[in-house]
Amino acid sequence: MINTIFGLLGLYILIHSNKKTWTITGFLIGIFWFWWIALSFRDYGFAWAIPIGVVIIALIYALIFWLLAYISQLLSKKIDIPQPFINIIMIFAISYIHPFGFDWLKLEIIFVDSYIGVTPLDFILVLISLSLIKYNRYYILISLFAINPNLSIVSFQDKNIDLITTNISIKDKWNIDLMDKNIEDTFKIIQNSIDNNFSIIILPESIIPKFINKNEYIKDRLKEYSNHISIVIGGLYLDDNGTPRNSTYIFSKDNIEIANKVVLVPFGEANPLPKFLSDIVNKIFYDGAIDYKASKNVYDYTIDNIKYRNAICFEATSERLYENSPKYMIAISNLNWFTPSIQPTLQKLLLKYYHRKYGTIIYHSINGSRSYIVW
């Protein structure tokens, strides 16, 4: 109820506000919704740049909101329609504006845990209703069509799947002196799952920070375990051209499948800037490392006659991964780049949003936050 009231109130204020309020709103959303993005500077030796990064993010969203309000104001005067009616179009459009390919600003997620639905139709009905408050006393009749409560409070535990949570810091993960120990600890986790009679184990993104396809020892160990349990595990992949990929490896009954990431993290894995600028950024922040390469198509794999959609961290929150409405998804993440922060909560809200929109049941294994199932 609290989420419903505050969500409606926030949208009502924005619909009936001017350009100045929109600009301030964008600036504050940039700070309070996305400040955590700049935390990744810590692990590249640029912790001093975190405040600068936060301000830049805030300014980008302030500019987006100012531009939308400016267009709304201009159209309202030109076609002689009250501005609140134009504003609802601009608010609806916000969810489809992705600066540098980053698409985590979806205003609909304020209704994920509420009495309001989260589909585009639900959202537009709510916006229309709120815009009519000053003009039509029957506005409430329209909003009734958007009521779609998500009231399930029952937890769900799949007794066949061992959903692993780890908490290895970024520093320790890439520490050469600790790498072998961390890999052996991963093998112990798999053995423990076998001892507890699980049929599938899911481990987080890049839990093995090596090119598994080039490491015969790791491959052989995982193949051996896969005779007793199906393993879904994050690791790196190096193609024949020497280009790295962020991948999921699926070991099942001595069979290996490799699912490469489809949607890469802007700047973190692939630089969205023009090449000459991209090369400069990569040299300054990433020691000249080349960008990862994305796979062209989403990837489904089957374990025990059940088909799962593969998703790695950021891409699990991308609309593209839900094409054809997959029934099940296995997502793996490494969130220690951004913890402690609100990032794991925001990601969970987005996964719940896509679950409510497409009906996909999501198994999410995480390094740096508690793993969970969205169902």
Using only the alpha carbons of the chain, give its radius of gyration.
23
pLDDT at 269: 80
Active site residues: 205, 261, 313
Whether pLDDT at 51 is above 70: yes
The residue ranges of every structural domain in the chain are 2-146, 161-374
For residues 163-177, give the mean pLDDT.
Answer: 94
Per-residue pLDDT of 129-155, as tens digits, reads 898 887 765 666 566 667 776 654 445
Is the domain defined by 161-374 classed in CATH 3.30.1860.10?
Answer: no
What one-letter code names the amino acid at 248?
A: T
Distances (CA, A) of 55 to 48, 61, 309: 13, 10, 36
Q: What's phi and psi for 113, nearest 5 deg?
A: -105, 75
pLDDT score of 328 more than 80: yes
With beta carbons less than 8 A apart as the criterion, state whether 325 and 347 touch.
no
pLDDT at 147: 77
